[in-house]
Chain A
């Protein structure tokens, strides 16, 4: 029932935010819904809750991990939005709050739906609610970005719908399992028609791969993340892509359960490696900070499917990595947003000498650099280590070697730019005097940085159990 409550809460909040005409109450609605969402998710961790709507909505281990990520990120983004809307012109206020809450409702639906078609409806709604937010600045560049994003992800999501229909076709009618219910599909996976299921998986990989931004389906990503307001980019790279991964993971679990491992694993590994190579190529010599982060997101999405394809400890690493990557990306995009607010640009050349102008953001950027490149003691080190060790244990030694090589090149690429921004000589655009940074603008990224640090040092017991359970669902095991 709590799943239904979460949905009603965020959807109701969205409707209310659209209806309110004053900016103050709208922010209040944003805050209240976010806190309530976070507390209900907290209650969900205390034990399994009953399913709602005939089992269509339920929270399983996989959904709970992503749902928690979404809820935490959203809370950070909402605190950030308070400061952001003060400095940025308050244009499009009603749409801004309404679409943010609509996005929360859509991502919640993706996380809690146990019916594949319902999951699809949620996935499509995420695209529709985020598009007006990408167009927030109302200029030519953001127009181009939103058009590319809309067309490409609509196309991708259309393929995902075809994948849903193909799974339904693969399901025998007489088996007594309910159509398109995830749990029923999983338990009766052996009865599915293998040929239809293969076709379904190819389309699912293309469709959700486009939404995740796996290379070569990533071309919307740098443009969209580059042009959208930073807090929107934070939500997209942290929450939206994670939800797309959840969709892909559900299809993958079914395909694995049906015994099609030999078909699916090479596809996943190939997609992962291609994404890593493409991301590395574009990270080297990148001149814009937000576009750099977008390619870093391509890299991490590649790591996720790679872990899934490797299996074993890789699958565990993959799910932990969703969490780590989402939190780290959210933190980095919000921090970058502070610099864009200070200088009006996200080009690395305009941001140099940040340590003096905005010390807190500069320190956060430095932390983010080490976190996102998977250095100890941050969470991404633990999850990337699990994926690499999974590769070695599952006899993909060459994959592990390629992975380590690419990751070190990426470290140099990202490090080069971020160190330049933090310690480089001051440029004319940046104010020499240190400015007091608004608490609203640094609280969110600080909290996220703390989370990614804690996850690197210690994974709490309940979280470890949930992660292991989710990994089992995906044919893996805890290391």
Chain B
């Protein structure tokens, strides 16, 4: 399984760019689902002797990040009749350029980090994993900041969470299975609640833009 790791990581990086560059909400969510699926496969691939634990974690990841959450986001979009454009604060070209910059920065930072401590299940998958994890995290932050729609901000949050999840994969076998499932579950519920709030925002304001949320401020 190990030769699979690097191509999968590159594919994850490509999905980051796809989310940054696309103008359609549905494509955004589809790319996010793809990223989730890649993460699921990756969490099985990083552990050399295939174990029940890693397969269960991979299956859980696919179920939550590739099927459950994207399905729920699509539901919220359909029910709230969200318009299909992403409506970024900055242009798509600028987003992509910033995305490229983010990748550069991530590789620069990762090369300066101290070496990974080898994991228990063999040597830790160093190389691309840490820089791509950082790039995914920062791309998520970028989406969160530069998109005005509440639902796109949820997409950004999920990408950021995916980045942290990728980083967590360097620790496979060292963090207990129960904790990993707890983390997955928490993220699932968080996005579930965010989706419901998005739904309410749209009903209340007839628009899903978080820019309407400016009533509360210092007088």
**Which residues from chain A sit less than 8 Å from chain B, CB to CB?**
115, 117-118, 120-121, 124-125, 127-128, 131-132, 135, 140-141, 143-148, 150-151, 154-155, 158, 161-162, 165, 168-173, 179-180, 193, 195-196, 199, 222-223, 226-227, 282, 287-288, 291
Contacts and interface: CB of A to CB of B under 8 A. Distances in A.
B194 A150 contact: yes
13 contacts: A118-B182, A121-B182, A128-B189, A140-B204, A148-B216, A150-B194, A154-B190, A155-B157, A158-B161, A158-B164, A162-B137, A165-B164, A173-B118
A155 B160 CA distance: 8
B210 interface: yes
B170 interface: yes
Nearest to A123: B186
Instruction: Provide the main secondary structure of the chain B interface.
Output: helix
A127 B193 CA distance: 10
Given A143-B213, A158-B161, 8 more contacts: A115-B179, A121-B179, A131-B193, A135-B197, A141-B216, A144-B213, A165-B167, A180-B175
A145 B216 contact: yes
Given A128-B186, A141-B216, A155-B144, A150 B114 contact: no
A413 B161 CA distance: 41
Given A128-B193, A131-B193, A169 B117 contact: yes
A195 B216 contact: no
Contacts of A154: 157, 190, 194
B21 interface: no
Interface residues of B, number: 42
A437 B119 CA distance: 63
Contacts of A144: 213-216
Contacts of A227: 216
Contacts, number: 116
Contacts of B186: 121, 124-125, 128
B183 interface: yes
A145 B197 CA distance: 11
B99 to A, nearest CB: 19
B183 A117 contact: yes
Nearest 6 Cβ contacts at the A-B interface: A144-B213, A121-B182, A223-B216, A117-B179, A124-B186, A179-B174
Given A121-B182, A161-B164, A147 B175 contact: no
